[in-house]
Structures are given as structure tokens and as C-alpha cells.
């Protein structure tokens, strides 16, 4: 058995840790690039959202490289993500690929269900899978704290580009290390290197929050490296849409027997009466309210073209801007988004605030 999985930001690192630990062969498809997107656009429905297009292209790359099992983290509800699985199955089968499909739905599945699902393809002791998942979760949190640190350094560094150089090195090396211990060591090492970067301690960078759809906010290729771009403009970027937040929200809070609302969901009640509009619609409104209250200098709302929940959320922005006095800019991303126009808009927004 040979597993492949799609990319979403840096999820490939925890996935690698998990699969290394339980001793399953896997193929990591090449990180998203122009070619990936082209492949995806060719075989996807026209109006589906952008995440689908890159996900299916990743899987095609993986299957081409010899994988025979697909591991995919689905969801459910009013967002199309929950139905990707069925469509991916249909399209890839039509293309003549033969594969087994493993869907892990963090929102609805408990630890036991996930272990059972993995057991259908490989006979691995449950305790090993359990430990593997725990290590993978630990990795997620470590990596997100590393990226947070990088964001902190990038907008304050004295020599432009120092942080990016360190992070590039990390991205290159992380693919070659094996196992949780080594990944952890590499993260620690990179952390130290980031600390060595000379920072301008007096700098008071502008604070901009990135909100919106999680896939777009996490995947640097798709969002045209928004964090890096803003960082080099000397802006401190607060991206709360990270995998660790998502896991915390959908998996850890789900282990509690009663329903717990996150801060964002509670904050959103002021503007949205609907409890759920699918995806991150409610969270987007809630987060923009919270950032408004925290006196951020600006908010960038980023989502894929035709994303249904975000369009609903967008309607409330006019009121939020008025009430909290925080400027919000919506950026819609699709496969035709040009980098030059994108930079111009970011620059104009930063200049304005």
C-alpha cells in the first residue's frame, strides 16, 4: 500500500510524521505550483472553488507517482468541502485510476473511527495509530508556532529577506528528515536561527489580520504568499486561520460532550443570526468583529471565487467597518488571479491605513 494526500499549507509535515510512525509507504505530491494548478483546472468543473482544483491535481500527481490509496480530510455541512470526496472519486475513476479512498472527517469522527478507517487498509495496532495521531497533532502545533515566530521576525528584521531565507531552508530540509524526533529537532533549530536574526526593536509595525476561507489563507501558493508579501512591506500579519486553530476548534472541542462555541462564533452573533452558514462564514464575521475590537489597523478578507459561506459573510462587513472603524478589503482568488494586480491592491491597502 502506498498512500498519497493533498496539500493544504504545511499539513504535509504532520501527515509525514503520522505515516512515518505507523510505518506506511507514502508519496508526497510536489508542493503546489503552476503546473499543479493547470492540471487541476483542466479536469475540474468550471465553477468549483479553487481548493478543489489544487487538491485534485495533487492527488493526480500522487497517483501518477505510484500511490494506490488516497488519504483525504473531509468535512460536512453547508460547505462544498464535505462533498469533494464523492466528486474526486468520480473524476479520478473516470480518468482510469484505480485507488482506495480513505476519508477522515475530523468534524464527525472520533479517534476510534479514524483508527478503524485506517485499519481497513493496513493492519496496524490501534495503539500505534493513536500515538501516531497524537504526534502528528503535536507537530501541527509546533509548526504553527514556528510560522508565527517567522511572521513576527519578518516585519521587524533589519536585513530584508533574512527570515525568508531561514524559512526556505526549513521547507527544503523538512522533506528529507524522517520521524517526529527529527522534525522536532529541525523545528527547534530553525527557531534558534530565527532568534538570531537582528530585529529592529523600536519598530511599531502596522497590524493586519487575515481572515476568510481557511484553505486559501493557509496555502502559500494559492494566496500568492500573502503573509510574506505583507511582511516584507513591514506589516505584522495575524493569520488566525491555521491548521492548529482548526484542529482545536473542530476536533479537540468536539471531544467535549457538550457544544462549545468558539470566541469567534460568539462574537459573530452581533451581526449574524444564523448559527451556521457553512465553512468559515460565521467565523469570518466573528473574527472581523474581534480584530475590530482589538484595534487592528486593517483586515484582509481572502476567499476563493464562488465560495458560498464567505459571500454571506461579506454582506456584514459594511456594518462592521462602520461600527469598529476598521478597514476591510476583500480579495477574491481564483486560478486567473494575476500577481501584479494583487500586489498593487495589497500596497494600496497598506498605504491607505
Q: What values do phi and psi take at 94, rounded to 5? A: -60, -30
Q: Any contact of residue 321 with other proteins (CB under 8 A)?
A: no
| Site track 137-176 with other proteins (rule: CB under 8 A), x = hit | ----------------------------------------
Q: Which stretch binds other proteins (CB under 8 A): 34-42, 80-88, 186-194, 248-256?
A: 80-88
Q: How far apart are CA 53 and CA 84, in angstroms?
A: 10
Q: Which stretch binds other proteins (CB under 8 A): 70-78, 126-134, 180-188, 291-299?
A: 70-78
Tell me the three cell numbers of residue 132: 501516531
Our CB check for other proteins shows the closer of 40 and 309 to be 309
Our CB check for other proteins shows the closer of 34 and 273 to be 273
Q: Any contact of residue 306 with other proteins (CB under 8 A)?
A: yes
CA 322 from centroid of its chain's CA atoms = 30
Our CB check for other proteins shows the closer of 164 and 334 to be 334
Applying CB under 8 A, which of residues 34, 46, 204, 351 lies at the interface with other proteins?
Answer: 46
Our CB check for other proteins shows the closer of 276 and 339 to be 276
- Nearest-approach distance from CB 306 to other proteins, in angstroms: 4
Query: HEC string of the chain?
Result: CEEECCCCCCCHHHHHHHHHHHCCEEECCCCCCHHHHHHHHHHCCCCCCHHHHHHHHHHHHHHHCCCCEEEEEECCCCCCHHHHHHHHHHHHHHCCCCCEEEEEECCCCCHHHHHHHHHCCCCCCHHHHHHHHHHHHHHHHHHHHHHHHHHHHHCCECCCCHHHHHHHHHHHHHCCCCHHHHHHHHHHHHHHHHHHCCECCCCCCEEEEEEECHHHHHCCCCCCCHHHHHHHCCEEEEECCCHHHHHHHHHHHHHCCCCCCCHHHHHHCCCCCCCCCCCCHHHHHHHHHHHHHCCCCEEEEEEECCCHHHHHHHCCHHHHHHHHCCCEEEEEECCCCCHHHHHHHHHHHHHHC
Q: Any contact of residue 266 with other proteins (CB under 8 A)?
A: no
Q: Any contact of residue 271 with other proteins (CB under 8 A)?
A: yes
Applying CB under 8 A, which of residues 29, 62, 231, 309 lies at the interface with other proteins?
Answer: 309
Applying CB under 8 A, which of residues 25, 38, 64, 276 lies at the interface with other proteins?
Answer: 276
Burial class of residue 303 (count of CB atoms within 10 Å of its CB; 0-12, 13-18, 19+): buried
Our CB check for other proteins shows the closer of 145 and 321 to be 321
- Nearest-approach distance from CB 17 to other proteins, in angstroms: 31
The HSE-up count of residue 96 (CA atoms within 13 Å, CB side) is: 1
Q: Any contact of residue 336 with other proteins (CB under 8 A)?
A: no
Tell me the three cell numbers of residue 16: 509525514
- Nearest-approach distance from CB 280 to other proteins, in angstroms: 11
- Nearest-approach distance from CB 285 to other proteins, in angstroms: 9
Kindly determine how many residues on this chain lie close enough to bind other proteins according to the rule CB under 8 A: 41
Q: For the segment 91-110, give every residue that binds other proteins (CB under 8 A).
A: 91, 94
30 and 62 Cβ atoms separated by less than 8 Å = no
Q: How far apart are CA 151 and CA 302, in angstroms?
A: 18
Applying CB under 8 A, which of residues 293, 315, 323, 339 lies at the interface with other proteins?
Answer: 315
Applying CB under 8 A, which of residues 231, 279, 286, 298 lies at the interface with other proteins?
Answer: 279
Q: Any contact of residue 311 with other proteins (CB under 8 A)?
A: yes
Q: Any contact of residue 73 with other proteins (CB under 8 A)?
A: no
- Nearest-approach distance from CB 76 to other proteins, in angstroms: 6
Q: Which stretch binds other proteins (CB under 8 A): 20-28, 139-147, 224-232, 266-274?
A: 266-274
Q: Please report, as ranges, the residues that interact with other proteins according to CB under 8 A.
A: 45-49, 76-80, 82-83, 86-87, 89-91, 94, 271-274, 276-279, 281, 305-309, 311-316, 318-319, 332
Amino acid at each position: 500500500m502506498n498512500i498519497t494526500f493533498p496539500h493544504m499549507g504545511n499539513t504535509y509535515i504532520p501527515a509525514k510524521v503520522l505515516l512515518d510512525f505507523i510505518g506506511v509507504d507514502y508519496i508526497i505530491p510536489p508542493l503546489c505550483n503552476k503546473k499543479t494548478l493547470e492540471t487541476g483546472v483542466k479536469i475540474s468543473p468550471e465553477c468549483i472553488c479553487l481548493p478543489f482544483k489544487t487538491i485534485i491535481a495533487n492527488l493526480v500527481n500522487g497517483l501518477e507517482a505510484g500511490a494506490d490509496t488516497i488519504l483525504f480530510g473531509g468535512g460536512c455541512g453547508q460547505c462544498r468541502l464535505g462533498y469533494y470526496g464523492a466528486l474526486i472519486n468520480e473524476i479520478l475513476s473516470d480518468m482510469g485510476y484505480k485507488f482506495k479512498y480513505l476519508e477522515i472527517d475530523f468534524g464527525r469522527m472520533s479517534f476510534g473511527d479514524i483508527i478503524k478507517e485506517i485499519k481497513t487498509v493496513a493492519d496496524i495496532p490501534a495503539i500505534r495509530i493513536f500515538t501516531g495521531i497524537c504526534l502528528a497533532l503535536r507537530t501541527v502545533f509546533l509548526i504553527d508556532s514556528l510560522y508565527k515566530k517567522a511572521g513576527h521576525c519578518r516585519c521587524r528584521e533589519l536585513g530584508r529577506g533574512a527570515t525568508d531565507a531561514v524559512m526556505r531552508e526549513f521547507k527544503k530540509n523538512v522533506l528529507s528528515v524522517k520521524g517526529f524526533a527529527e522534525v522536532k529537532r529541525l523545528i527547534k533549530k530553525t527557531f534558534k536561527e530565527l532568534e538570531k536574526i537582528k530585529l529592529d526593536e523600536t519598530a511599531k509595525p502596522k497590524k493586519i489580520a487575515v481572515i476568510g476561507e481557511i484553505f486559501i489563507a493557509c496555502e502559500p501558493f494559492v494566496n500568492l504568499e500573502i503573509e510574506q508579501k505583507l511582511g516584507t512591506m513591514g506589516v505584522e500579519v495575524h493569520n488566525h486561520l491555521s491548521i492548529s486553530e482548526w484542529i482545536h476548534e473542530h476536533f479537540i472541542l468536539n471531544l467535549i460532550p457538550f457544544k462549545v462555541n468558539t470566541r469567534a462564533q460568539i462574537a459573530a452573533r452581533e451581526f449574524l443570526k444564523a448559527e451556521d452558514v457553512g465553512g468559515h462564514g460565521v467565523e469570518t464575521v466573528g473574527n472581523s468583529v474581534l480584530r475590530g475590537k482589538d484595534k487592528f489597523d486593517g483586515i484582509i478578507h481572502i476567499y476563493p471565487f464562488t465560495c458560498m459561506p464567505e459571500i454571506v459573510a461579506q454582506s456584514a462587513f459594511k456594518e462592521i467597518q462602520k461600527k469598529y472603524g476598521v478597514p476591510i478589503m476583500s480579495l477574491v482568488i481564483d486560478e486567473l488571479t494575476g500577481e501584479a494586480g494583487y500586489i498593487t491592491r495589497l500596497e494600496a491597502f497598506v498605504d491607505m491605513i
